[in-house]
Amino acid sequence: MSGLARLTVTRAWAVLALATLVVFALAENDAPARAATLAILLIAAFKIRLVFLHFMELAAGAMPWRAILEVWVAVVTAIIVGAYLFTPV
């Protein structure tokens, strides 16, 4: 692994760790539950995308696979967020 690739993966790891801390803070804080849950779901989608791109190396992969990944993450996130928003409280 080249130095640049190692640096990119390290940055991705740092962003993932920071996002995990933000999710923990949102879950443990007295933030409004609905807003916190939506933020956590969106952060989870962002983290999934980072893992796919940097740790499964789809960022350098063939474009059809990356397009499938991006669409899959967007669709699954939209379904989960939509189901959450339209569920009666």
Print the domain residue range for 45: 3-85
Mean pLDDT across the chain: 90
Instruction: Give the model's confidence band at 5: pLDDT under 50 very low, under 70 low, under 90 confident, else very high.
Output: low
Residue 1 pLDDT > 70: no
Total domains in the fold of the chain = 1
Q: What is the DSSP string of 48-89?
A: HHHIIIIIS--TTS-HHHHHHHHHHHHHHHHHHHHHHHTS--
> What pLDDT was estimated at residue 86?
93
pLDDT tens by residue, 29-82: 877 888 999 999 999 999 999 999 988 888 888 889 999 999 999 999 999 999
Instruction: Give the model's confidence band at 7: pLDDT under 50 very low, under 70 low, under 90 confident, else very high.
Output: confident
- Nearest-CA neighbor of 16 among 44, 42, 47? 47
